[in-house]
Amino acid sequence: MRLLDHFQRLAEWHPSAHASGLAQIAAALCCSERNARLLLKRMQEQGWIDWQPGNGRGHRSRLSLLQDHDNLRLQRLHHLLADGKLEAAFDGLPNAGRERLKQSLPGYLGSGRAGTLRMPFYRPLHALDAIHINRRTEQHIIMQICAGLTEYDRASEQIIPALAHRWDASADGRNWEFILRPGLQFHDGRPVRAEDVVYSLQRARDTDGPYRAMFAHLANISGNERSMKLQLSKPDHLLLHLLAHHAAVIVPVDDSQRADFATLPIGAGPFRLIRNNEHRATLAAFDGYFRERALLDEIDLWVVPLGSPFPEVDLHLAHASPDQVPAPDDSWSRIRALEQGCDLVMLNPARAEFSTPAARLAVGTWLRPAAAELAAKETRPMAFGMLPQWRHLPEQTSTTAPTLPAHLDLVTYELDSHIALTHCVADRLREAGADVSIHILPFPEFGPYGWRDWADVVIAGDVLDNDMEFGLYSWLAGESLVNQMMDKTARTSLAKASAKIAAEADASKRAALIETCFARMVEQAWILPMRHTRHGIDYGPQLGGVTLARCGWMDFRKLWLRP
């Protein structure tokens, strides 16, 4: 790149062939004549110039430019992309150049060198502090990097040992002991110790965040060598699920004090996060992982603009309307499923017009015809409850405009499907006579719920991960979106219902209690379900081990490439 910079300077000074002295060239290159001679020799070896030095008095040197500088720089950039050197390719480019280069990224996706898979994603990763993340991609990534005491196994739908190889509980369910595996290591080589577990769980319990309430009953957390003891203030039959949750992953003592902790977390999971920036996130297989090593050496998530064409050997995540996107050819495989979750509308009960369930339901029935029209265009089913199989909302719409405030502030975050629904909702509310302002926030700004005091209408969605029972429970017991929009009485009632769920030993009865809670939220119109999303994966014949998790991603540990 430095040689290219010198060539650019030379080209700007000397755009066409004519007689040139070495002293003039050295002045143009801002260097000594000796260095100018070396630079000219290197450029000639590259085939960029023809340099004929003058020999003797009266014989002037001649310089011809054989290459176009812009073409040479473009070739250099593409060589860097082919080598996977994104940061070097983007370094120093102006904004316009960066945008043009981004359009070239899909051509370098797919399988790289042996054991490396480059995958596209439409945005950089947000912060990866496990106790704060509340977006499915970041939740998935943290579970590839870190591990907890337990793990949820999708194949068996059961909790299995992870960092702890066994556990015991007292008859009353209040006292637990966990035994750590021997020889556990974090990615940086430090051993995983009991004090790391104490630190991680205490931090989850004592730090403000969306999951803090779920850890509040961990009254005492202690450890000695490889033995961990938990004393609970109340029985919790979902404790093993809680310890498998992404907010309960184990990190080294005081690691959160690192300046780059949220960008490059250290864990004991199957992959090390070795790079995370605006261009990509790179995960490398961790040889010290306590289970079977991942089959790929490296997974590189490249930030690729939405709508870019993709190469033949690749893996595509498909969301929102995946069936409208054709697979590249018949050799590709396709997996599709309905997401366990929904897009929804929530109304601020502090506004007099939204203070009662009847008023909120009236808005919901007014919005549904427009939402149904949008869903039909997107080939997406309408939602009547949080899950596709739930029918908690009556099948009714309204042609009578509801009573609305004169002005409404609508809030959502930067996700194309939510933005489309937000505009649909806004247009329908304008038909009812409201003046509407739309606020589309970056998710890091939306996630902390700083809008709760001034937002009138919130358009969002939630998708459950593999452990669906605990995902539903955590939506009720944690600081989820609905908790931000409920009044104090409703939040108190929901907290009591959540405690009752955790205290129930029978799984089928827990499931019934959970569904009752969600049905009640719909009946009270705390949430207005609008539509479900289909998601899926398209992948080429070179990629094996692809499975579809409930969150729309796949288990990175199982991916492999055919030679």
Question: In terms of domains, do 302 and 377 share one?
Answer: no
Which contacts (CB < 8 Å, 24+ apart) does range 475-478 have? 475/386, 476/501, 476/514, 476/517, 476/518, 477/213, 477/214, 477/501, 477/502, 478/210, 478/211, 478/212, 478/213, 478/214
Cα distance between residue 169 and residue 177, in whole Å: 7
Indicate the angle between helix axes 357-377 and 416-431, nearest 10 degrees.
120
CB-based contacts of 442-447 (< 8 A; 24+ apart in sequence)? 442/413, 442/414, 443/126, 443/135, 443/413, 443/414, 443/415, 444/126, 444/127, 445/413, 446/411, 446/412, 446/413, 447/126, 447/132, 447/134, 447/135, 447/413
Residues 207 and 328 placed together within one structural domain of the fold? no
Whichever domain contains 412, its CATH number is 3.10.105.10
**What does the DSSP 8-state code read for residue 517?**
H
Q: Do both 473 and 511 map to the same domain?
A: yes
Considering the domain architecture, whether residues 196 and 314 belong to the same structural domain is answered as: no
Residue-level pLDDT at 561: 86
pLDDT of the residue at 67? 72
Has residue 537 been placed in a domain? no
Q: Give domain status of residue 485, yes or no.
A: yes
Rounded Cα–Cα distance for residues 337 and 232 (Å): 38
What is the pLDDT at residue 319? Answer: 58
Query: Would residue 319 count as lying in a domain?
Result: yes
Q: Residue 22 is part of a domain; what is its CATH number?
A: 1.10.10.10
- In-domain check, residue 561: no
pLDDT of res. 313: 44
Same domain, 419 and 509: yes
The verdict on 227 and 82 lying in the same domain is: no
Q: At what angle do helices 22-29 and 33-45 cross, to 10 degrees?
A: 90
The residue range of the domain holding 333 is: 73-122+270-338
Question: Do 83 and 189 have their domain in common?
Answer: no
Q: 549 lies in a domain? A: no
Buried b (16+ CB within 10 A) or exposed e, 243-267: bbbbbbbbbbeebbeeeebbbbbbb
Asked if residue 543 is part of any domain, the answer here is: no
Q: Which of 321, 338, 355 is the last residue of a domain?
A: 338
Cα separation, 265 vs 144, whole angstroms: 11
Query: CB within 8 A of 174, min separation 6: which ones?
Result: 231, 232, 233, 234, 235
**What are the Cα distances from residue 90, in Å, to 95, 260, 281?**
10, 22, 15
Domain end position, chosen among 264, 290, 316: 264
Residues 326 and 458 in one domain: no
Contact 369, 397 (CB under 8 A): yes
SS3 of 317, please?
strand
Q: Of 241, 264, 287, which residue is a domain's last?
A: 264
Q: How many helices (H) and strands (E) does the chain have?
A: 17, 24
523 and 421 in one domain? yes
Statement to judge: residues 42 and 188 lie in one domain: no
Give domain status of residue 150, yes or no. yes
Residues 6+ apart with CB under 8 A from 277: 87, 124
Q: 299 lies in a domain?
A: yes
Amino acid 279 reads H
* Ordered mean pLDDT values, 10 residues apiece, the chain (563 residues): 74 63 83 88 84 69 74 68 75 71 68 77 92 91 97 94 96 93 97 97 95 95 94 95 97 95 97 94 96 94 74 57 59 88 95 96 95 93 95 87 96 93 97 97 89 94 89 90 89 93 94 96 96 88 88 91 81
Whole-number pLDDT of residue 317: 67
Rounded to whole angstroms, how far apart are CA atoms 364 and 525? 8
d(CA 388, CA 5): 58
pLDDT tens for residues 27-71? 888 889 888 889 888 888 888 788 887 765 656 778 887 776 666
What pLDDT score was predicted for residue 52?
81
Residue 516: its pLDDT value, please? 97
Same domain, 277 and 333: yes
Query: What's the number of domains the chain is made of?
Result: 4
CATH of the domain at 234: 3.90.76.10
Q: What's the confidence (pLDDT) of residue 312?
A: 46
Q: Do 101 and 21 belong together in one domain?
A: no
